[in-house]
Amino acid sequence: MSVRSAIVLAAGEGKRLRPLTRHRPKPMLPAGTKPILEHVFDELVAAGIEELTVVVGYGRSAVQSHFGPSYRDVPIEYVVQEHQLGSGHALAVAASTVEERTLVVNGDQLVDRKIVGDVISTHETDPDAVATLGVIGHDDLAEYGGAIVDADGTVSEIVENPTDDRTYRLNAGVYALEAEAVEAMTDVEPTAGEFSLVDGLEALVDDRTVRAAASEGIWIDATYPWDLLEVAETLFETGTVTGSVASSARVHGTATIVEPAVVGPDCVINAGAVVGPNVCLGQNVTVGSNATVRRSVVDADSRIGSNATAIDCVTGRGVRIGPGSAVVGGPGDVRVDSTVHRDERLGALIADRTRDEGGVTYAPGTIVGAEATIHAGATVRGSVDSETEVR
């Protein structure tokens, strides 16, 4: 029996990506110019998945309104995780929809069809396996999950955030599961108030056969705001996204597009502007005359004023960078909660509907919350809370 359906876990916020997730969940943040979750759906459909069950929770209306009842003729059933109590709990919410073997995928990380296909084919050729997980090589697993894989390809141990010096493979968050595996994985006790998918996998490994599907496919995660720039670069480098200018975009004859760059529908690039390389402009973005945009992800409905500069910049939707303002580029020190991340390549993160009046300078590593107002001529550094004014 082949794997026809997939459960996509898309209920979480992505707290370390705040303030971008103030108004939408992490799966709906842009990877290039379309949501991370849309990339996931594309790869699942390309791998032959015919039915999608999507677990939604935080910001669920953003997911449901964007995709509706189907995607590329593949029906979508939504189930709601009212309280975000962990990935295992999210799977439990969807467990009633599972009647046969199914795929389970994280909806907030990019995985390509090769990983999905490798997991499916490995699982289908091992009649003893109740579960198969995709694993890849990765330099740093401290933020993620690792698997110890025996010589015969079975998984002997699952470890979240490993720090020892054993040889791990990164758990890519793609699982083929028999119905009995889903039942066993959702019947574990919570740890620190959360039901973890990893805990469920560990329970399976203890007394059942769990197979590893080693893959050379592409896996990308955005944990922090500056990672969205790395995601876009990787999509360009791998050819997953190619440089393009939408047919409805208007580019002045004296403007310059430096590839790779994606210019979305209804964008306007005015005279003398330079856009690229490694730039993604979402729908209805305007770049003013003689402005410069490099290595940036500028989300929908944003405006970059005349003579402005945006380098290593991530914006939310509806942002206004005024005339002559300058995001000078990274590296810089970035504070996320109580941790300072040193020398990250982030010029600035400017969240949804923030507006600057022009002539503003953003120090490297600046994070500006949603709906803030930056008055003309100000210098901004560090973190600015949402709905505040900077003079």
pLDDT, tens only, 176-202: 988 888 777 777 666 656 677 777 788
| Residue 162 within any structural domain of the chain | yes
| 50 and 179 co-located in one domain | yes
Parent domain of 183: 5-221
Q: Is the pLDDT at 97 greater than 80, yes or no? A: no
| 58 and 190 co-located in one domain | yes
| Residue 226 within any structural domain of the chain | no
Residue 84 burial (CB count, 10 A):
16
CATH number of the domain bearing residue 211: 3.90.550.10
pTM exceeds 0.85: yes
Residue 191 burial (CB count, 10 A):
13
Tell me the mean pLDDT in the region 148-173.
Answer: 83
Domain stop point among 170, 194, 221: 221
Q: What is the pLDDT of residues 37-53, one digit of tens each?
A: 999 999 999 999 999 99
| 31 and 51 co-located in one domain | yes
| Residue 227 within any structural domain of the chain | no
Beta strands in 43-154 (DSSP E): 51-56, 70-71, 74-80, 102-106, 109-111, 129-136, 145-149
| 174 and 67 co-located in one domain | yes
Beta strands in 137-206 (DSSP E): 145-149, 155-160, 169-177
Q: What is the pLDDT of residue 363?
A: 96
Q: Which residues pair with 286 in a beta bridge?
A: 268, 303
SS (H, E, C) 315-333: ECCCCEECCCCEECCCCEE
- Give the Cα separation of 299 and 141 in Å (integer): 30
| 256 and 201 co-located in one domain | no
| 198 and 263 co-located in one domain | no
Q: Is the pLDDT at 1 greater than 60, yes or no? A: no
| 160 and 102 co-located in one domain | yes
| 312 and 370 co-located in one domain | yes
